[in-house]
Structures are given as structure tokens and as C-alpha cells.
């Protein structure tokens, strides 16, 4: 049995218990709607541990969104030559809100993945789990 690394499971949205089953049904930026699977298709791990469990993912998404907005603001400041005049306010707002809009599917998906992998004490990785 081949062990799957935690980084691979995080990047590809795999189950935190077996690191093989998919957490989501669709692709990140596909035309189909992203939806979280109820259970892992490989090991049967239930993803929503208790009712309303993924409401906590909003806090993770908020932290990710704040970091992205700060990074986009700093990048705009550096690339615009340090222009902080009132007229450049619209440049900052446009860049930051467009970046937030483009990164919304990424934040939705990875806030849940981070919640399941790092912030869930009830789900532990089982390297010996081998169910076809």
C-alpha cells in the first residue's frame, strides 16, 4: 500500500482519513457547481461531522480573504510606484475586489479542506486503511 502525503491530500482535496477519496464533486474552476461530498467514496468517512460543521469554514475563509486582500493591496502599491493619491483609490478597490471575486471558488474549497485536515480533532489519518 502506498502512503499519500498530507501535502498531496491538501492540494488535491482528498479525504483526511484515507487521503484517497475526493472531498468535492466538481473541479475548482469548472462549469459544474462545487459541492462537498457527504461521505468519502473510498473509506466512508463522513465529512460534515456534526450539523453546521462547515460554518466554521467561514472563519478560515475570512482569514484567507484578509491575507489575499492585504497581499493584493501591497502588490498594487508596489506595482503602481507607491501612488497613494485619491485618484488611485479606484485602482486599489478594483484590483482588490476583482482578486476577491476570482479567488472566491479557491477560498470556498480550501477553507473546507483546511478545516477538515488541520482543525478537525475527530478525523485522524489511518495509513493502514486499505479498502479498494
In a domain, 97, yes or no: yes
In a domain, 82, yes or no: yes
For the chain, what is the domain count?
1
pLDDT, residue 1, reads: 47
Q: What are phi and psi of 14, to 5 degrees?
A: -95, 160
pLDDT, residue 127, reads: 64
On whether the pTM is more than 0.85, the answer is no
Q: Give residue 50's domain range.
A: 6-118
In a domain, 51, yes or no: yes
In a domain, 69, yes or no: yes
In a domain, 103, yes or no: yes
Extended beta strands in the chain, E state: none
pLDDT, residue 40, reads: 87
Q: Rounded to an integer, what distance in angstroms lies between the CA atom of residue 42 and that of residue 21?
A: 5
pLDDT per residue as tens, the chain (132 positions): 467 788 888 888 888 888 888 888 877 777 666 788 888 888 888 888 788 888 888 999 999 999 999 999 999 989 888 777 766 788 899 999 999 999 998 998 899 898 888 877 667 766 666 555
In a domain, 96, yes or no: yes
Helix (H, G, I), strand (E, B) or coil at 24: strand
pLDDT, residue 94, reads: 93
Amino acid at each position: 500500500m502506498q502512503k499519500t502525503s498530507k501535502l498531496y491530500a491538501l492540494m488535491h482535496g482528498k479525504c483526511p482519513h484515507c487521503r484517497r477519496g475526493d472531498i468535492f464533486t466538481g473541479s475548482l474552476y469548472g462549469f459544474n457547481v462545487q459541492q462537498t461530498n457527504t461521505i468519502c467514496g473510498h473509506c466512508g468517512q463522513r465529512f460534515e461531522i456534526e450539523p453546521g460543521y462547515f460554518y466554521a469554514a467561514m472563519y478560515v475563509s475570512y482569514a484567507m480573504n484578509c491575507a489575499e486582500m492585504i497581499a493584493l493591496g501591497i502588490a498594487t502599491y508596489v506595482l503602481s510606484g507607491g501612488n497613494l493619491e485619491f485618484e488611485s483609490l479606484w485602482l486599489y478597490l478594483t484590483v482588490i475586489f476583482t482578486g476577491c471575486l476570482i479567488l472566491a471558488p479557491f477560498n470556498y474549497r480550501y477553507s473546507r479542506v483546511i478545516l477538515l485536515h488541520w482543525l478537525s480533532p475527530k478525523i485522524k489519518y489511518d495509513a493502514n486503511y486499505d479498502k479498494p
